[in-house]
Amino acid sequence: MPVNKVFKSCDEAVAGIFDGATIMVGGFGSYGGLPINLIVALSRQGAKDLTVIANMGGVGFELSKRIKPGGYQDLGVLFEHGQVKKFIGSVPALGGMPPDSPLERMYNEGRVEIEVVPQGTLAERIRCGAGGLGGFYTPVGVGTVVAKGKEKKVIDGKEYILEMPLTADFALIKAHKADTLGNLVYRRTARCFNPVMATAAATTIVEVDDLVEVGQLDPEIVVTPHVYVHRIVEVKQ
């Protein structure tokens, strides 16, 4: 029978994430689709020198109070704990907020490297890596800082730049439901980067609102097939 993918806690699920690992973290902004329980478990677990690939760098608990009453945890906690050496994403920090997010502070202190990537290019680089491709030409970023140092090509009279694939050792993602095999469905805009990242990591770890038995998910509506999912934790809302 297939290996058991169901873990009892987020702490158990993030065990084995090693120093220096590349980690994709799903979600979009600083909430909604963010696998926050896995992120917090990783901050407890303590792995260091991580390369984190995520759409946004998070605002951290202090700034979050400006967004949502009472505040909340987000990706910022990994920077606060000094676990990250490099961030790859489209919004390291929000220009509309003070420069006090944990990532922006660390960056300004020279303690973390940032690679800023247009959001669609980020999604496509991940899909490219997941699909075993070597790179792709995109018109996005032509004539901007994003094009710096990248191969350029004119195709049918239009300018493109070459973007390279992204893959990861681990992906931390959030889904709505999983069956015990690992088939996943998402809820509303909490889908965002989660299904894309799920396909691009050697080990994909998912937290779900509901864990159901095999056969309980309609085969037509599964978004992430189980071959992409390695560890599942149910975190009831």
Partner 1 sequence: MKARLDEQTIALRAAREFADGSVVNLGYGMPGLCADFIPEGRAVFFQSENGMLGYGNLASDAEKDYEMINASDQPVTPLPGMCFFDSAAAFDMIRGGHIDVVVLGAYQVSEKGDLANWGRPGRPATGMGGGMDLAAGAKKVIVTMLHTTKTGEPRIVKKCTYPLTAARCVTLVITDLAVIEVTGKGLVLKEIAPGWTVPEVQALTEARLIPASDLKEIEL
Restricted to residues 9-48, the positions that interact with a copy of itself (CB under 8 A) are: none
- The answer to whether 23 touches 60, Cβ cutoff 8 Å, is no
Amino acid at 106: M
Residue 216: DSSP 8-state: -
> Could you say whether residue 135 binds a copy of itself (CB under 8 A)?
yes
Binding to partner 1 (CB under 8 A) within 5-24 occurs at none
Applying CB under 8 A, which part among 17-25, 36-44, 46-54, 132-140 lies near partner 1? Answer: 132-140
Q: Measured from the CB atom, is 70 or 219 closer to a copy of itself?
A: 219
DSSP-assigned beta bridge partners for residue 109: none
Check binding of 82 to partner 1 (CB under 8 A).
no
Q: Give the number of C-alpha atoms closer than 13 A to the C-alpha of residue 162, restricted to the C-beta side.
A: 9
| Residue 118 interacts with, from partner 1, a copy of itself, none (CB under 5-8 Å by kind) | partner 1
With H, G, I as helix, E, B as strand and everything else as coil, classify residue 116.
strand
- Is position 164 an interface residue for partner 1 (rule: CB under 8 A)? no
For residues 204 and 228, what is the distance between their CA atoms, to the nearest angstrom?
A: 7
Give the C-alpha separation, 86 to 98, whole Å. 21
* Helix, coil or strand: residue 40: helix
Q: 98 to 127, contacts with a copy of itself by CB under 8 A?
A: 124
Site string for a copy of itself, 139-178 (x = CB under 8 A): x-------------x-x--x-x---x--------------
